Amino acid sequence: MNPRVSTAEAPARNPIARSLALAVLAVALVGAAIMGAVVFAVLLGLFAVGYLVSLAHAWWRLFRVRRRVAAIEQPPSPAAKPELIEGEYQVVEAAVDAAPRGPGATA
């Protein structure tokens, strides 16, 4: 009697089954390559967005520090600090019954 052939070995003898298995394998490999490329592109995009956000944050912090240093180092302009204030005043006599004010006053 002939020994039994396992079902795993049977398709290997048929050329049509071999061609069909090769075509399915090729389609699976192409699909895996496309899926891998998509995952890589998504991860690369996330990395690029994170890098740009980090770069913008670093630029903003540097901009704020430079602005603060420039404000500290810049001498005040002469127009901003007047040395003489001109104006008029009028003396008003205090009422006799007004309560005294100040640190040593008693009410």
- Distance, CA of 29 to chain centre: 37
The pLDDT, as a whole number, for residue 54 is 98
pLDDT of residue 40 exceeding 90, the answer is yes
Q: To which residue do tokens 């049509």 refer?
A: 16
Domain boundaries, the chain: 10-79
Give the model confidence (pLDDT) of 52-68 as tens digits: 999 999 999 999 999 99
Q: Is the pTM of this model over 0.85?
A: no
The pLDDT, as a whole number, for residue 70 is 85
Q: What percent of the chain has pLDDT over 90?
A: 48
8 Å CB contact between 11 and 17: yes
Most confident of 12-16, 23-27, 94-98: 23-27
Please report, for residues 83, 89, 91, 95, the alpha-carbon distance to residue 101 in angstroms, rounded to integers and kept in the order given: 30, 21, 17, 13
What per-residue string of b and e applies to 25-63 under the rule 16 or more CB within 10 Å gives b?
eeeeeeeeeeeeeeeeeeeeeeeeeeeeeeeeeeeeeee
Nearest to 21 by CA among 32, 34, 13: 13
Q: How confident is the model at residue 1 (pLDDT cuts 50, 70, 90)?
A: low
